[in-house]
Amino acid sequence: IGRVGKSSSRLILSICLLGGILSWTMPEHAVAALLLPILIGIVEAGGIDYRQNFGIALFLALTYGTSVGSMGTLLGGARNVLAIGIMENFSNISLSFVDWAVAGIPIAVVLMFVTFFTLRIVYPWEEIDAGKIRSELREEVEEIGPMSRDEKKAGLIFASAFVLWSIFATTVGLATIAIGGLVALVITRTITWRDIEQEMPWGIIFLYGGAVTLSQALRSAGSVEFLANGLMGFIGQKPLLIVAIFLVTVVYLSQVMSNTAATAIILPITISSLIEFGYPAQLGGYLIAMGAAMAFMLPIATPSAAMAYTSGYIEVRDLIKAGAILNVLGIITFLTFGLGWWKLLGIW
């Protein structure tokens, strides 16, 4: 950030891109928690007043950048892994880490730039003293210091997991590789079992397991097919219209509830409807899981939005003002570039 951020625009763009790219390697809320203290240091070093457009745009760039970046890989958000589980219940398709990345990263990159230009228009920011900010960033780097031995071990294990996910995901399985990485962290004493007991979000694991089970139960009971047939009877033989309706539904449902829950509700019906039209399950999986990431309008939508909101530099009206525009642009991007890219890949 210090090397690239030589102006207000380049600094905000770097935050948006960095947040998005890091969200390919870890959950979006973890990226937001990692970068938020740096952003607070930037605005304090630059003497940015509360309610200045630069400060608002900077924190929104982090929030939106991490959200759209989380579409890129399975690691960006648990809803992506949930989508794979639901897809496997409806078909024999098994997607790898690379399959998802190829489908998602180009769309994520396009939306990062859409986010930047939207913020540039909605919140035209002032030029700031980049020299002070770069000095602050250098001090942050010096305080962090070199990587510790445990950090190097963790980095090596994560890199190994990436490689294994890319090569053996369909044969060994994503979960098996993930558990193997966890075991390696414990064996090498990078973390302890007590760390896992205290820090592991056990409730989320049960939530996702329950969501997949609920999806399978609804399908077994015929509820999903009933709803899908009813929708098809109402709309008619217009598959692309159904795609648009489901995308819009999951985008706006994700504004007021967990995007994972929204995915669990909408995805089974979407897949069932698309299969009736002869389209593959992964089209619905990509569309709904990635579309659910566009929860831009409220602090309750995503943890990253909530964290940025607590910084005090943005208000709910700021999220709504920029988020409403981004939602529309995001939907248009998916229905044009997204579907076109997936068509080129032979997904549908």
Residue 267 pLDDT grade (very low, low, confident, very high; cuts 50, 70, 90): confident
Better-scored residue on pLDDT, 272 or 57? 57
When mean pLDDT is compared over 26-35, 43-52, 82-91, 136-145, the highest value belongs to: 26-35
Tokens of 148: 């510790």
What pLDDT score does 68 carry? 94
Mean pLDDT score, 304-312: 85
Of 286 and 257, more confident: 286
CA distances from 273 to 28, 224, 227, 233 (A): 30, 9, 9, 11
**pLDDT score, position 217:** 72
Token digits for 95?
Answer: 């997607």
Give the C-alpha separation, 284 to 150, whole Å: 40
Q: Which two tokens stand for residue 36?
A: 């938020």
- The winner for highest mean pLDDT among 4-8, 29-33, 229-233, 236-240 is 29-33
* CA atoms within 13 A of residue 252's CA, in its CB half-sphere: 9
Locus of tokens 């694991």: 205
Instruction: Share the mean pLDDT of the chain.
Output: 83
Token pair for 191: 């973390």
Which two tokens mark 127? 């030029």
How many of the other CB atoms lie within 10 Å of CB of 156? 13
The answer to whether 116 and 298 are in contact (CB under 8 A) is no
Which residue type sits at 6?
K
Does the pLDDT value for residue 138 go beyond 80? Answer: no
**What 3 state SS string does 200-222 have?**
CCHHHHHHHHHHHHHHHHHHHCC
Average pLDDT over residues 213-218: 69
- Which tens digits make up the pLDDT trace of 333-345? 999 999 999 999 9
CA distances for 35 relative to 39, 110, 315, 344, angstroms? 6, 22, 19, 35
Best mean pLDDT range from 86-95, 209-218, 270-279, 288-297: 288-297
- Count Cβ atoms within 10 A of the Cβ of residue 76 and give its class: 0-12 exposed, 13-18 middle, 19 or more buried: buried
Whole-angstrom distance, CA of residue 153 vs CA of residue 190: 7
* Model pLDDT, residue 114: 96
DSSP 3-35: TT-SSHHHHHHHHHHHHHHHTTTS-HHHHHHHH
Nearest to 43 by CA among 35, 221, 93, 26: 35
Model pLDDT, residue 344? 94
Averaged pLDDT, 241-262: 87
% of the chain beyond a pLDDT of 90 = 28
Domain spans of the chain?
8-345
Average pLDDT over residues 225-236: 65
Quick one: pLDDT at residue 322? Answer: 93
Q: How far apart are CA 268 and CA 283, in angstroms?
A: 12
Give yes or no for a contact between 86 and 212, defined as CB atoms under 8 angstroms apart: yes
Give me the mean pLDDT over the 297-321 stretch: 86
Tens of pLDDT, residues 166-197: 777 667 777 788 888 888 888 888 888 888 77
Query: How many Cβ atoms from other residues are within 10 Å of residue 285's Cβ?
Result: 30
Give the CA diameter of the chain: 63
Least confident range of 44-53, 149-158, 184-193, 337-346: 44-53
Q: How far is 132 from 13, CA to CA, in rounded Å?
A: 18
In the predicted structure, residue 219 carries a pLDDT above the cut 80: no
Measured distance between the N- and C-terminal CA atoms of the chain, rounded to whole angstroms: 39
Spell out the residues 6+ positions from residue 20 whose beta carbon is closer than 8 angstroms to its own.
65, 66, 68, 69, 72, 108, 109, 112
Can you tell me the distance from the alpha carbon of 348 to that of 346, in angstroms, rounded to the nearest whole number?
5
pLDDT above 80 for 225: no
